[in-house]
Amino acid sequence: MTTVFVFNGPNLNLLGVRKPEVYGRTVLPDVEALCREAATGHGLSLDFRQTNHEGVLVDWIHEAGAAVKRGDALGAVLNAAAYTHTSVALHDAIEGAELPTIEVHISNVHGRETFRHHSYVSPVAAGIVVGFGVDGYPLAIDGLVRKTRPLRSV
């Protein structure tokens, strides 16, 4: 079965606790369940991960890119969190691994502090989902499927 990866960056392990007025009260295991349901609906398996370490994200991106090249995976949904705004390394990893990636953010980063308006991920992402809360994750999976699979005739 083809896999979709969902990678989560720093502090997302605190989802539901940290700044609930911005990020909501849903916890990460519930986000994983939303993603599993979306992936299953497309006939995909889900590989859902979270780390607070930039280098780990880079390694996972390389791993996912290799899986796509082997035909074992479709691509990745990435919530790089704060690394979105700081990490050239993530940009270079996505580009170098040729990983189809949908960037996702729970909050509307463009309506927040100015430093959150810039993304190093966006230029190498196939698409971006911003500001839909945790519902953005299944939207991102749907978008990845649409970007990577040819449309079927009815």
Active site residue ranges: 23, 105
Are 5 and 47 in contact by the 8 Å Cβ rule? The answer is yes
Q: At what angle do helices 88-97 and 54-70 cross, to 10 degrees?
A: 10
